[in-house]
Structure 1
Amino acid sequence: MADRITANLPSRDFAATSAFYGRLGFAEAYRDGSWMILNRGPLVLEFFPHPGVDRFSSWFSACIRVDDPDTLLAEWQNAGLPSDDRAIPRLTGFFKPGTAPRMFALVDADGSLLRVIDNRDAGEAHVG
């Protein structure tokens, strides 16, 4: 197995988190009362229980770097998430902040921000 790092994010409720990410193509690889791991191919998200996390003030985030963000965005748009910048959860379209790579963002149902970064554009700057 190659070296890797995975995001560790809060979940108010593992069943609800699993259902939310299931709509985005993730499947449970592991779950007990204190930890959950979801996989979507090589993409791995890990969750810890945090029933008190406030989804409107959460500062938890992670970066997902992919070679084909266009296809991933198109697939995730099929989940019917709002794009309103105040909605939680929400899915944005592409944006390119300054010299950072092209990306889109997902805010999950617990308020965690996932930046999906285009690997093909990542040579210009590192965002994390």
Structure 2
Amino acid sequence: MTDVLVVLGTFGLMVFVGAVSDLVFRRTMFPDTIPLISLGVLLGPVVGLLPAGSFESVGPLVGSLALIVILLDQGMETKFRTLGRSAPRALLLAVTTFVFSTVLIGLAATYLLRIP
């Protein structure tokens, strides 16, 4: 029973800190992720309240759910007009980055690693 209370209490504390840090961010533009990361480090490795191994089984599920929530939230806020205006520049950036990385890795493989 104690483990459940510790997990629920920790979750509640993290939600509270997240809400407060969001309010602080809206007023001061101080990044709201810094208090959450600090709280996670404090509760995990420093205090040892939440051992890292206890989340290995639910990590992929939580990561997938977080990705779904983030993408859904951003998708709902995206305006089609803004998307249409920024798409050509985003495509140019993506293609340029891909070509530059491919050429650079190819040259490094050929001349530094002697791979034909």
Which bin holds the TM-score, normalised by the shorter protein? under 0.3
TM-score by length of 2: 0.25
Higher helix share: 2
Comparing both structures, which one devotes a greater share of its residues to strand? 1
| Structure showing greater relative contact order (alpha-carbon pairs closer than 8 Å, 6 or more residues apart) | 1
